[in-house]
Structure 1
């Protein structure tokens, strides 16, 4: 499975002008040690959803840690999880870590958090479940999150935010917002305050954002 993950990641990044070189279970940027990326697949139990863990090392001290569920057993599940990464995090990661910005695939904004100016790369909200129905993202979702970011005590470094919202279907919801891999209470409050569409069936939305210190 490690070979499948490495090959698909090398192909994905290669299609966008980034060469990656295998070094044991890591993929290193050609000509440099960082950024580096690796993926580890965990097979689901009793036919359940598996999980792909991705680590993206920015430098010797900072690592983006992301996980993606994969539907299906074995290689099928792993490919499904890799496809989720390609649809959700990839273009944000490409912009923030490898400095390749495709404005057709993400939004680029300028924002001041505390006293530090940042360039903010915002990915699309990606949907799982309810694929047969269009889902309108509330206009205040990102504005609520942006307000929380503006008051966050951020250092003058790269930061990343992962948003997850799940509509369970019985009136309950799941909300998780991470800042630099850790639960972020202000971000959770912002996302939980939004009036998300309520459906009878389960669906989930995922979003990834990176903040890079402005030059």
Structure 2
């Protein structure tokens, strides 16, 4: 499975002008130690959903840690999870870490947080769930989050935010917002305050944002 993941990532990056080469478990840009990326697949128990962990090392102290569920057993589940990475995180990390910006695949904005100016690379909200689940994203979904970012005590480093919203049904929801891999209370409050579409069946929305200092 490691070879499948590495080959998939090598091909994905190559399609966007970045050549990666394998160094044991990691994929590196030729002549560079950072950034480095790897994927690790965990098979689901009893035929259940597996998990793909994607690690992107920015420097000796900071690593983006993301996980994606994969439906199906073995290679099918792993490919499904890799597709989740490609749809949700890929173009954001490509811009923030490898400096290749595809304006058709993400939004690019500027924002001031404290005394630092950042370029925000904002990926699409990606939907998972029933086919007839709502697709409309509330206009205040991102604005609420940007307001929270503007007041966050950020350093002049690359930061990243992962948003997860789940509509469970019967008015129940799941919200998780991480800032630099850690739960972020202000971001959670911002996302929970948004009037997300309600639906009888389960659906989830996922979003990934990177902040790159302009200073």
TM-score with structure 1 length normalisation?
0.98
Q: May I ask how many residue pairs the two structures share in their alignment?
A: 215
> Residue in 2 aligned with 1:144?
144
Runs of 4+ with >6 A deviation = none
Deviation at 1:30, TM superposition (A): 1.5
The 8 Å contact of residues 133 and 203 in structure 2, kept in 1 or not, is answered as: no
Q: 1:33, CA displacement in angstroms?
A: 1.1
Shift of 1:130: 2.4
Distance 1:191 1:149, change over 3 A: same
Q: In the aligned structure 2, how far is the partner of 1:134 from the partner of 1:201?
A: 10
In 1, Cα distance between the equivalents of 2:161 and 2:214?
A: 17
Q: Secondary structure at the match of 2:169?
A: coil
Q: C-alpha offsets along residues 6-28 of structure 1, whole Å, 9 cap, x if unaligned? A: 00000000000111110111111
| Preserved CA contact (<8 Å) 2:133 2:201 | no
State the Cα deviation string for residues 64-87 of structure 1 (Å, max 9, x = none): 000000000000000000000000
**Deviations for 1:24-57, whole angstroms, at most 9, x for unmatched residues?**
1111111211110000000001111000000000
What SS class does the counterpart of residue 31 from structure 1 fall into?
Answer: coil
Please state how far the C-alpha of 1:131 moved relative to its aligned partner: 2.4
Matched, 1:13 2:16: no
Q: Is the 8 A contact 2:134 2:197 kept in 1?
A: no
- What's 1:63 paired with? 63
Q: Provide structure 1 residue ranges, at least 5 long, that are not aligned to the other structure.
A: none
Q: Let me know the Cα RMSD of the aligned residues.
A: 0.8
Residue 165 (structure 1) aligns with: 165
**2:157, 2:212 within 8 Å by CA — same for their partners in 1?**
yes
Partner of 1:178: 178
Q: Distance between the aligned counterparts of 1:30 and 1:78, measured in 2?
A: 26
